[in-house]
Amino acid sequence: MAITGREGGRVKLVLVAAAALIDADGRVLIAERPAGKQLAGLWEFPGGKVEPGERPEDCLIRELAEELGITVKEACLAPLTFASHTYETFQLLMPLWICRRWEGLVQGREGQRLAWVRPGKLRDYPMPPADEPLIPALIDIVGAGRD
Ligand SMILES: Nc1nc2c([nH]c(=O)n2[C@H]2C[C@H](O)[C@@H](COP(=O)(O)OP(=O)(O)OP(=O)(O)O)O2)c(=O)[nH]1
Ligand SMILES: [Mg+2]
């Protein structure tokens, strides 16, 4: 049987930096992965792959500008938790930062749908399998939310 996520016994590690943006109402921003991309139609935390030689925090700041059109200062990023998930072709390692302060209006700059969701409602949105274990950490830090 093939060992998933491994090639010749070596794992292909993909490092992705992601953010949970939290608004004043305690809602979390998620974005729908566009058609044509891997895991299309699932709702994710904004972010992307760390490029060779790039600091994860710089990557996240870059991705938030590209995907959402906002400016985030590194001091406004707080580490929350991480996901480590074995996909069929790679091992995802995804640190998740929390961010409550940014400059600019959040917009889906790549045509992606966005949703502001109370942490207790995140399970109503289909997310990649790597993301499900992150939800309790968000509920702990933000609260599940009303209604
Ligand atoms: N951004 C993000 N990626 C996630 C999450 N959960 C999850 O499994 N992933 C996976 C999907 C992809 O395989 C990988 C991130 O890829 P991506 O498509 O966001 O990378 P990117 O923004 O650099 O885009 P691209 O230039 O590669 O198209 O991590 C998540 O919550 N947020
Ligand atoms: Mg991305």
- Which SS3 state, helix, strand or coil, does residue 59 take? helix
Where the chain has pLDDT below 50, the residues are 1-3, 5
pLDDT of residue 7: 55
Percent over 70 (pLDDT), the chain: 94
Tell me which of 12, 13, 16, 94 to substitute to probe ligand 1's pocket, judged by most ligand atoms within 8 Å of the beta carbon. Answer: 16
Domain ranges (residues) in the chain? 6-142
Cα Rg of the chain, angstroms: 15
Topology of the domain covering 6-142: Nucleoside Triphosphate Pyrophosphohydrolase (3.90.79)
* ipTM of the prediction: 0.94
Atom 15, ligand 1: which residue's CA is nearest? 48
Q: What is the pTM of this model?
A: 0.93
pLDDT of residue 6: 55
pLDDT of residue 28: 98
Number of Cα atoms under 13 Å in the Cβ half of residue 74: 5
pLDDT of residue 2: 44
Residue 68's H or E segment, with its range, is helix 56-68
